[in-house]
Amino acid sequence: MINVAILTYSGSALFETACAVELFGLSRPEFENWYQTEVITFEDGILSSTCNVGLEVKKVNSLKLYDMLIVPSWPTSTQEVEPKLAEQIIEFHSSNKTLISFCSGAFLLAHLGLLDNTRATTHWRYAEAFKQRFEAVNYVDDVLYVLGENIGTSAGSAAGIDLGLEVIRRDFGSAIANHVAKRLVMSPHRKGGQSQFVETRVEQQSSIFENTLKWALENLSLNLSIDDLARKSHMSRRTFDRHFRNSHGCSAKQWLINQRVNFAKATLEQSKASIEHIAGIAGFESANTLRHHFRKTLGLSPRQYRDQFSSLTNHAH
């Protein structure tokens, strides 16, 4: 069992705290082993969080019982840290236990010197202030998170979920991380910057195209053209293109490429089929075409994606 502590305090950010609880504290009886998690504080009494929501959590004086400490947020202007808390976190870190911060939580770790000469990130709003205040930190821009051997930091708000999923993947394997992501109704992995792993769900599409898009997904291996989709929708090509872009915010051609990439991703995760075979059943002209769209969409090759996320090569432990 991995014992996890989620640190909170008076004035904490409720959303980031809730993200940590959802990831690490939610009961998951479907797994044989899972984290044992407590939300803790070093302060007395009921704490006040965002919008004056009260939190009654366990008060502790030591972190010795825990294997991982998560700091979901921290005041960006605080120059002092309660001595007992500082002492315990520094001792925790010196024991090579795992320290994770979401969003502004990096300010606490940096203040204690735990990020010196280490790559780290935080919310873009605080980036300049963070860099000026903690010059010894190797700040990384335009990433969702940075995760080292025993310390990790994430960008703002929901990026903490991305970091949390990566921690789960490292602790329990890709299959379990993907399962948790699915329960969260989000992709198991997003790449920093503009590239994101986001799947388009048919049920979210406009009803005018529902049958056509369902048919297209069932026949991706065919050499489908946009003219085929227009005929299936009983529209002229010009009318189809206009309605599709207005409804989906992208061209039908780009949507079709995205679906083929998504199909290839799922097949890479779940089978050992060759890249050439997967390209064919996903409807790409060749393996090179698949590789091109993978790199353009996801920022990595099909082989790299399989190495990271295949349920056949990454197992829970």
Give pLDDT tens digits for 118-144: 999 999 999 999 999 999 999 988 788
User: Does the pLDDT at position 204 exceed 90?
Assistant: no
Contact (Cβ atoms closer than 8 angstroms) between residue 227 and residue 219: no
User: Does the pLDDT at position 234 exceed 70?
Assistant: yes
CA distances from 220 to 2, 112, 292 (A): 43, 54, 18
Six-digit token string for 21: 């609880």
Contact (Cβ atoms closer than 8 angstroms) between residue 137 and residue 156: no
Q: Rounding to the nearest 10 degrees, give the CA dihedral for residues 166, 292, 285, 260.
A: 30
User: Does the pLDDT at position 314 exceed 70?
Assistant: no
User: Does the pLDDT at position 231 exceed 60?
Assistant: yes
Dist. CA 292–CA 266, nearest whole Å:
17
Q: What is the mean pLDDT of residues 74-82?
A: 91
193 compared with 280, residue with greater pLDDT: 280
Residue 149 pLDDT: 86
DSSP state of 23: I
Q: What is the mean pLDDT of residues 91-108?
A: 97
DSSP letters for 210-270: HHHHHHHHHTTTS---HHHHHHHTT--HHHHHHHHHHHHSS-HHHHHHHHHHHHHHHHHHH
